[in-house]
């Protein structure tokens, strides 16, 4: 009697459990992050609300969760397939199933890579999101589009880690970008003054 058989079966079982758990957790994480991305980011007045969490936006955070979960899901499915195929008793059927699974993975890989690239673009963020704080503690977040840099918007504090769109400031657009310029935020009476070089924008919180 082959004494290694029980150990082999136990090993396969552990792989199956690990693979299923990893794939299931990844699927739930992707579903959760996708749901958050789909929630309208507006307040009661219809103004756009921005999440700014230590320099990261909602798209950044959810994008990285989805991207890492896709990687984890692929690893989990590979482990699960390995465990299930390893249970097939006849070698020729096991080899056929293995090669068929491998071929299916190769065919699907371009679509997975394309999806991963699109998600990476969301995670990396196309454009800038920079926070500026005045001496009195008030702060704004300035966003600038990632193409020609002409679109600039200023967001004021709306709650913890949340900012609401206050106004555009396209006069600050172009190059060098806002994040690379010597910009500062100062507080005046009932207003904030955002200055970049010779340009000053008035913001009413």
The per-residue pLDDT for 163 is 92
Residue 20 counted as domain residue: yes
Name beta bridge partners: 165: 155
Question: Within a domain: residue 113?
Answer: yes
Residue 36 resides in a domain: yes
Domain assignment present for 51: no
Alpha carbons 99 and 94: distance in angstroms, whole number: 9
Asked if residue 48 belongs to a domain, the reply is: no
Asked if residue 99 and residue 18 are part of one domain, the reply reads: yes
Entry pTM: 0.70
Give a yes or no: residue 163 inside a domain.
Answer: yes
Order the strands of the 191-196 sheet from edge to edge: 183-188, 191-196, 199-203
Same domain, 84 and 131: no
| Domain encompassing residue 19 | 4-41+61-124
pLDDT value of position 12? 60
Q: Which residues of the chain, if any, have pLDDT below 70? A: 1-12
Give a yes or no: residue 46 inside a domain: no
Q: Establish if 182 belongs to a structural domain.
A: yes
21-61: per-residue pLDDT in tens?
999 999 999 999 988 888 778 877 788 888 888 778 888 88
Domains contained in the chain, number: 2
What is the phi-psi region of residue 54: left when phi exceeds 0, alpha when psi lies from -120 to 50, beta otherwise?
left
Kindly state whether residues 119 and 82 are assigned to the same domain. Answer: yes
Q: Report phi then psi at 46, rounded to 5.
A: 85, 10
Give yes or no: residues 35 and 97 share one domain.
Answer: yes
Number of neighbouring beta carbons within 10 Å of residue 164? 19
pLDDT of residue 42: 80
């Amino acid at each position: 009697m082959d004494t290694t058989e029980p150990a082999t079966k136990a090993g396969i079982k552990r792989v199956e459990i690990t693979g299923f758990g990893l794939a299931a957790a990844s699927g739930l994480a992707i579903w959760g992050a996708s749901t958050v991305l789909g929630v309208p980011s507006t307040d009661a007045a219809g103004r756009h609300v921005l999440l700014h969490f230590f320099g990261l936006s909602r798209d950044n955070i959810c994008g990285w969760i989805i991207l890492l979960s896709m990687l984890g899901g692929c690893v989990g499915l590979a482990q699960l397939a390995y465990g299930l195929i390893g249970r097939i008793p006849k070698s020729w059927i096991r080899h056929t199933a293995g090669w068929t699974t491998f071929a299916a993975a190769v065919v699907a890989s371009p679509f997975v890579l394309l999806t991963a690239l699109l998600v990476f673009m969301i995670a990396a963020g196309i454009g800038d999101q920079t926070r500026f704080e005045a001496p009195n503690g008030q702060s704004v977040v300035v966003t600038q589009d990632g193409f020609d840099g002409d679109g600039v918007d200023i967001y004021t504090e709306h709650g913890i880690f949340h900012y609401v769109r206050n106004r555009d400031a396209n006069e600050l657009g172009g190059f060098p970008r806002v994040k690379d310029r010597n910009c500062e935020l100062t507080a005046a009476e009932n207003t904030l003054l955002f200055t970049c070089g010779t340009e000053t924008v008035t913001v009413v919180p």
